[in-house]
Chain A
Amino acid sequence: MTNTKNTSKNTTAAYEDQAVKGKPSAAEAVFGNIAKPMFSGKKATTPLKIALTALLLVVLFVLPIYLQGMGEALLLASLVGIGLYVILALGLNIVIGYAGMLDFGRMAFYAVGTYAAIILAIPLANLLGPSLEGLVFPVVMVGAGLVAAFVGWLLSLPVMRLRGDYLAIVTLGFGEIVRITLQNNPFDLTNGLLGLPKSGDFMPSPPFFEYLRDTVQWAIGNEFFFTVTRNVYWYYMVLIMLIIAIIVVRNQDNSRLGRSWAAMREDEVAASAMGVNITKAKTWAFVLGAFWGGIAGACFGFFLGGISPEPFSFLNSVIVLAIVVIGGMGSIPGVLVGGVLIMGFPELIRWFAMNHLGQAGGDIQSMVANFRNLFLGLLMVIMMAVRTEGLIPMKPKFYKLFGKAKSGKGDNSDASAATTGAAPKGGAGS
């Protein structure tokens, strides 16, 4: 992200001129106010909420130790998969949920990130030598994010003028173009269908992995034995990236950029008339959404230890879309729950089938994969008909014209709260 800041100063500044008075730094436009919304009075920060968040974090950090200790590699690997898709969905959420543009080709950015990371990693590892091998992954991850963001920017150039439904079809086409191009080995970069790394190349190992693997070993009795396996390592890596993504995306939503997205989503023409620079807002939505796709892609490529074009199918783009739509467009908790439900539930059934149903488990497993897609489709239809806003809807935003946004301690003279009389006390934060 820091690199985005450097390269984007000019454009950000230009954008700010268009928006309301007051000039936050470029970093603020991209990150939003990282510190403020979390701890100022803007959010309803109750002790209960803090306690629950802390509990959730503790559970998330302890869970892999328990799972690996008990040898449940399937559940652990599934959690890594969920994490990656949630990061992807968070990126998509910026485009769909915040900016209101439909993207059917999310896999394009995931693919670009994965391939960029691996293509960059191998020469970089040779350059740095074995002693600095650990540096490779962080560098290429940021690099992959930037490459994906750049591709997002490229895509945003021609599609600016497109209407919503046309945009969806164009992104779909773009996703397929990327996948087919990867298959056809352009400039001998992607190695076609055989995938990367090419024969004879080896993926560099990520930072501290070998050290952790060799030093951390806990055993309790005969049944519990914990070491840092690839799954454990990538679980923590993805979890950390996910937390960073949540914090950054959340604050972007609270920034000036986020407000212009909201205005644009609700009514593009009106927003434009009110001085929101639509082009800039759309470009940023694409760039930032693609960035997270690239980050997730880099983790995915290193987690798999190589890549070929098969995972970047249209169906997987639809699954990421379903996570956002079913979870709740524009709602981060919605995306989290959507991701866990859609990616996690089938894996739980698979796990159950493999562990408890013996021979019959095989048939159930194969049905799960198909039934998941069946239900996803049905859920999307039902969701649109009865609950467009998703399982956990986006919270409505209220802004005050003058002074600070309303704090949790009811200042009920606020005009926006009055118009939406139903809004309960203390919930009026953004």
Chain B
Amino acid sequence: MEFFVQLLIDGLTLGGMYALIALGFTLVYGILLMINFAHAEMFMTGGFIGYGVLNLLSNESTIATASDFFAPLSILQSTQPFFTTTALGFILMMLIVFGVAAVLTGLLGMTIERFAYRPLRNSPRLCALISALGMSLFLQNFVLLAVGHRMVFPTPEFLANLNAVPLFGSIRIAPIDLIIFVTCLVLLFTLDRFVSKSKLGKAMRATSQDKDAAGLMGININSVIALTFFIGPALGAVAGTFFGLKYGVVTFNMGLFPGIKAFTAAVLGGIGNLRGAMLGGFLIGVLEALASGYLSIAYRDVITFAILILILIFRPGGLLGESVVEKV
């Protein structure tokens, strides 16, 4: 029993990250009916930006190098101990790191939409897919050439000194896992409220139902799409930074597998459906954990892909989605 619960916890933590990435896929698909293959790279880029910002705030030698380029940055030298050792400082630092990573990656997402996808809006869907694949290849290799193939993610001292939280029996949860899980829940809840209640969210839903009609109602389609391409990558960036914090490393090709799995999650929940993506993310995470716990981790990816293929074939609408009729 304890074994099962521990696997469940492992799965939910992982699933939270999948859910964050899956939202990006599902948002874009809901509005443009397009699989944004490059979204996996948003996750990766977010991780690298998070890596840079965190280093800038907490790593003395990085601060020193940065100050040589831009003198005012040397102020970070004095804030560094506060950020790395105290609880308040740690929370503040994490907010800054996630904020910067999310905003920059969101802007990158908007830029990509503007230059790579907008010209293709009226082309066949396959063209957009190929373009997205190309963009993914480009971003990966850009990061590889500009930064490096593997970066060791710094662990803030405060976090390193925290002990695992015992729940009951031998069940315990690592502090970083707890942080990831709680943050994911908060973000997912906020996004859900935003889309269903706010004016912009309503515009997004209107656009996804009928672009032309929404345009006639006075909604600026282009800004709604741009907003979508901001929110998705921003959430992906949060997941990417969490990835670095949890696993200690960010690599240029780290996006591929989480990307495919998040896509699977989005499809499982019903692509285009926000709550479906969240549900799918957690489900995939738990399924993977159970599969690798009771069978073997070697076949974990095979199991995920098999789920994906089976769902696409037998219930393309997913768990919460409606089945889509192909129109002529």
Interface residues of A (CB under 8 A from B): 100, 102, 104, 158-159, 161-166, 168-170, 172-174, 176-177, 180-181, 183-184, 269-270, 314, 318, 321-322, 325, 367, 370-371, 373-374, 376-381, 383-385, 388
Contact = CB atoms under 8 A, between A and B. Distances in A.
B87 interface: no
Contacts of A164: 124-126, 129
A170 B299 contact: no
The B interface, classified by DSSP as helix, strand, loop or mixed, is helix
A377 B125 contact: no
A380 B140 CA distance: 14
Contacts of A371: 141, 145
Contact of B302 (A181, A373, A379): A181
Contacts of B313: 158-159, 161-162, 170
B227 interface: no
A174 B312 CA distance: 13
A173 B133 CA distance: 15
Contacts of B298: 180, 183-184
Given A371-B141, A374-B138, A377-B135, A385 B119 contact: yes
Contacts of A381: 116, 131, 134-135, 138
Given A165-B35, A384-B120, A378 B138 contact: yes
Given A321-B130, A374-B142, A376-B134, 17 more contacts: A100-B126, A161-B313, A166-B312, A170-B308, A174-B309, A181-B302, A269-B326, A269-B328, A370-B141, A373-B140, A377-B134, A377-B136, A380-B135, A384-B120, A384-B128, A385-B116, A388-B123
Contacts of A377: 133-141
B52 interface: no
A374 B130 contact: no
B306 A177 contact: yes
Interface of B: 34-35, 116, 119-120, 123-131, 133-142, 144-145, 256, 260, 263, 267, 298-299, 301-302, 305-306, 308-309, 312-313, 316, 326, 328
Contacts of A100: 126
19 contacts: A104-B133, A159-B313, A161-B316, A162-B312, A169-B267, A170-B309, A173-B309, A176-B305, A177-B301, A269-B326, A374-B141, A376-B137, A377-B137, A377-B139, A378-B134, A379-B134, A380-B130, A380-B134, A380-B137
A159 B312 CA distance: 9
Contacts of B35: 165, 168-169
Contact of A180 (B142, B144, B302): B302
Contacts of A388: 123, 127
Q: Which of A318, A321, A370, A384 has the most CB of B within 10 A?
A: A384
A365 to B, nearest CB: 14
B35 to A, nearest CB: 5
B125 to A, nearest CB: 6
Contacts of A325: 130
B166 to A, nearest CB: 36
Q: Which of B126, B128, B260 has the most CB of A within 10 A?
A: B126
Contacts of B139: 377
B144 A162 contact: no
Contacts of A314: 256
A173 B299 CA distance: 13
Interface pairs A-B: 3 shortest CB-CB = A380-B134, A377-B138, A377-B137
A384 B140 CA distance: 19
A102 B312 CA distance: 15
Contacts of B119: 385
A177 B130 contact: no
B137 A373 contact: yes
Contacts of B328: 269-270
B302 A380 contact: no
Contact of B131 (A165, A370, A385): A385
Nearest to A157: B313
A15 to B, nearest CB: 23
A371 B144 CA distance: 10
Contacts of B308: 169-170, 173
A107 to B, nearest CB: 14
Q: Which of B35, B129, B130, B298 has the most CB of A within 10 A?
A: B130
A325 B125 CA distance: 14
A214 to B, nearest CB: 45
A205 to B, nearest CB: 35
Contact of A166 (B127, B134, B140, B316): B316
Q: Which of A180, A270, A314, A380 has the most CB of B within 10 A?
A: A380
A41 B266 CA distance: 53
Contacts of B129: 102, 164-165, 168
A289 to B, nearest CB: 16
A180 B133 contact: no
Nearest to A173: B305
A423 B181 CA distance: 62
B126 A102 contact: yes
A277 B301 CA distance: 35
Contacts of A166: 267, 312, 316
A321 B136 CA distance: 14
B125 A180 contact: no
A371 B140 CA distance: 11
Nearest to B303: A177
Nearest to A159: B313
Q: Which of B120, B299, B308 has the most CB of A within 10 A?
A: B308
A7 to B, nearest CB: 26
B131 A318 contact: no
A262 B127 CA distance: 17
B126 A173 contact: no
Nearest to B139: A377
Contact of A169 (B140, B263, B299): B263
A122 to B, nearest CB: 26
A181 to B, nearest CB: 7
A212 to B, nearest CB: 41
A384 B256 CA distance: 22
Given A162-B316, A321-B133, A376-B137, A172 B260 contact: yes
Given A181-B302, A184-B299, A370 B137 contact: no
Nearest to B41: A377
Contacts of B116: 381, 384-385
A269 B328 CA distance: 7
B258 to A, nearest CB: 13
Given A162-B312, A380-B130, A385 B120 contact: yes
